[in-house]
Amino acid sequence: MFVCIKLVFDIGCRQPHRMPCTRKLEKMAQSHHIPDGQLGPKLLASIAINVVILTAQLIGGMLAGSIALIADALHNLTDVAALCMSYGALRVSRRPASPRYTFAFQRAEVLAAVLNATSLIAVSAFVSVEALRRLSSPEPVAGGLVMAFAAFGMVANAAAAWLLRGHGSNLNIRSAVLHLVSDSVASFGVLIAGALIHWFGWFVVDPIVSLLLAAWMIKESVGLLRTAANILMQGVPDGVELALVESAIREHPLVEDVHDLHVWAMTSSNIVLSAHVVLPCELGEPERLETVKQLKSMLHDRFEVEHATMETETTGVCTGMSCDKE
């Protein structure tokens, strides 16, 4: 369980642009970063592990008569789907840009995260309905079998999640790891339920644990959906304050004003910015270009802005459709 707790902590701190993580923790996360070139084979290995878990727990759940174990198996089914979509999104996102898709397919990871989280919510709803039915009429469960298969699932899922450590800044991979970690934690809960059933005959524990796991899965999935929705709606990325960005631009000695400022994210790790910057009218073209270069460098260093488009203007002159609205 220590592995699962550590992975959950790492995922939280590696969410893109989350300011609450301390500098020390950020450096630790960076020191454990793994090149994306190793990600494909690790995803395939995780898929294979989860197919084995799914098969074993489905058989075990039917033999033991445990809805909690079957729910854990169904959760693993979504793990397999999540990992397959993550692998597909990884391949698609590496395709080069085209005349139609000028930013290439970077947001494939965001779409995959939405599908993963949605599938997890659907499975949680199914588990909740079945658990409520059994709560009113508990059925006999073979606690020993539940313990054995749950322990296997917990260890195997933790191993699969550990394979993907170091890639938490990618929303797509973070969603897949969330599936794995949540299922490992779920298996631990099922293991405890199996022990209570085996030694005390508390059959009602099986549906109770199922409901708790379903609620936890829904909570985590909703958080992931909110992050993905913010990206798709081109909201300001979490941890980035627009006022601070504007203030940082204004700190440059040659900047007289800044307006039409927009900050959004193409992906979980690619922040984009556009702005109109007012410079002194006596500046020549070389000085303007140098000022923009300095601003872009500052934005990259302080706010991790990967792509900045800055239009320079002189006092009283504003170009573009947005200027008519000001």
The string over 7-22, giving b where at least 16 C-beta atoms fall within 10 Å of a residue's C-beta and e elsewhere, is bbebbebbbbbeeebe
- The H-or-E segment that residue 79 falls in is helix 67-93
- Predicted confidence at residue 59, as pLDDT, reads 93
pLDDT at 280 over 70: yes
Least Cα distance to 165 among 38, 269, 33 occurs for: 33
Rounded to an integer, what distance in angstroms lies between the CA atom of residue 244 and that of residue 170? 25
What digits encode the pLDDT tens for the residues 97-107? Answer: 888 888 788 78
Which sequence spans correspond to the domains of the chain? 2-232, 242-325
Considering the segment(s) 242-325 as one domain, its CATH architecture is 2-Layer Sandwich (3.30)
Residue 171 pLDDT grade (very low, low, confident, very high; cuts 50, 70, 90)? low
- Predicted confidence at residue 274, as pLDDT, reads 96
Higher pLDDT, residue 214 or 248 = 248
First to last CA, the chain: 55
Q: Residue 112, Cα to own-chain centre: how many angstroms?
A: 10
Poorest-pLDDT segment among 154-168, 259-273, 280-294:
154-168
- Predicted confidence at residue 71, as pLDDT, reads 80
Percentage with pLDDT > 70 across the chain = 82
Hey, what CATH class is 2-232 in? mainly alpha
- Predicted confidence at residue 126, as pLDDT, reads 85
Q: What is the mean pLDDT of the chain?
A: 80
Please compute the mean of the pLDDT values over residues 263-277 and round it to a whole number.
90
Please compute the mean of the pLDDT values over residues 50-78 and round it to a whole number.
86
Least Cα distance to 43 among 151, 180, 141, 217 occurs for: 180
Q: Are 168 and 29 in contact (CB under 8 A)?
A: yes
Poorest-pLDDT segment among 6-20, 143-157, 212-226:
6-20
pLDDT at 18 over 70: no
Q: What DSSP designation does 324 have?
A: G
- Cβ atoms within 10 Å of 49's Cβ, excluding its own: 21
Global pTM reads: 0.68
Poorest-pLDDT segment among 206-210, 267-271, 320-324:
320-324
